[in-house]
Amino acid sequence: MNVFVIGLGLIGGSMALDIKAADSRSTIFGVDANPNHAKEALDLGIIDQIASIENISEADVVIISIPVNAMVVLLPQVLDAIHDNALVFDAGSTKSLICAAVANHPKRRNFLAAHPIAGTEFSGPKAAVKNLFQGKTNIICEVEKTAFKLQERGMKIFADLGMRIRYMDPKSHDKHIAYVSHLSHISSFMLGKTVIEKEKNERDIFDMAGSGFESTVRLAKSSPEMWAPIFEQNKENVIETLEEYIANLQQFKELMLKNDFSAIFDEMENTNRIKEILKGITIKTI
């Protein structure tokens, strides 16, 4: 099986490693806009060969794991160029605009819209790790628009990676993921910003930071190349979550100003049930 991975970063690189491990007869072709990344992926043994988008007609499977703004441009071009029996799937963190970009494409049935909920705050080929997807959720959108035998090929790969599948429409995906992923990134980036601004004048401040702070700002290490386009494509939902978050912070501040620490206690106690909720999440800590 010829597998083309376009975008050899954390997600694409990690997929390449697991697909090769599951089926050693597969040949992994790596495509990256950055020649240094392609070279690095080859040196790290993530891919078997560096390839170019021009060779895409040789692919049986194409995985596109690039920023979502580049995705909506490249995905139709990839569909144009593949053979009739090839499967293309993406790994984008937004789904509505990506699905819309190929809604009327003659090869729409060759595309499977996917969002593997897995990752770390690191990026580039060096960030690729084995078993990243084990036990994680893969959201599949508009599954009925993909040819049945290509669905099967995709599901075989996702099963090899150890993923559990959830089916969802693109609109619901984008709305929900804004809460559980996109908002977390903004809260983390802005927390990092707030503390860094302070640190300009107070050099010693980070000497006092512990693992709690580290955990909360971890996502602020994430790649702007990846995340600015996500916020742009999911603008409406993200703004809604951001407004609710700001309103909750404002209310917390008002309670403090009113010295209503009993209400603050209740707020925290109610939110403690996140413990139970999070037990449902399979966590692979990095």
Which residues ranging from 92 to 151 are in contact with its own copies (CB under 8 A)?
Answer: 117-121, 136-137, 139
Residues in 163-222 that interact with its own copies by CB under 8 A: 166, 173, 176-177, 179-181, 183-199, 202, 204-222
Mask of contacts with its own copies, 235-264, x by CB under 8 A? x--xx-xxxxxx-xxx-xx--xx-x-xx-x
Nearer to its own copies, 151 or 223 (CB): 223
CB of 238 to its own copies, least distance (A): 7
Q: Which of 9, 33, 31, 28 is nearest to 18 (CA)?
A: 28
Using CB atoms within 10 Å of the CB of residue 125, give its burial: 0 to 12 exposed, 13 to 18 middle, 19+ buried: buried
> SS3 for 88?
strand
CB of 63 to its own copies, least distance (A): 19
CB of 47 to its own copies, least distance (A): 25
Work out whether strand 49-50 and strand 164-168 pair parallel, antiparallel, or are unpaired: unpaired
CB of 264 to its own copies, least distance (A): 5
Residues 6+ apart with CB under 8 A from 156: none
Length of the chain: 286
CB of 170 to its own copies, least distance (A): 13
Nearer to its own copies, 18 or 51 (CB): 18
Could you give the CA distance from residue 286 to residue 277 in angstroms, rounded to a whole number? Answer: 21
Residues in 20-59 that interact with its own copies by CB under 8 A: none
Q: Terminus-to-terminus CA distance in the chain, angstroms? A: 31
Nearer to its own copies, 146 or 187 (CB): 187
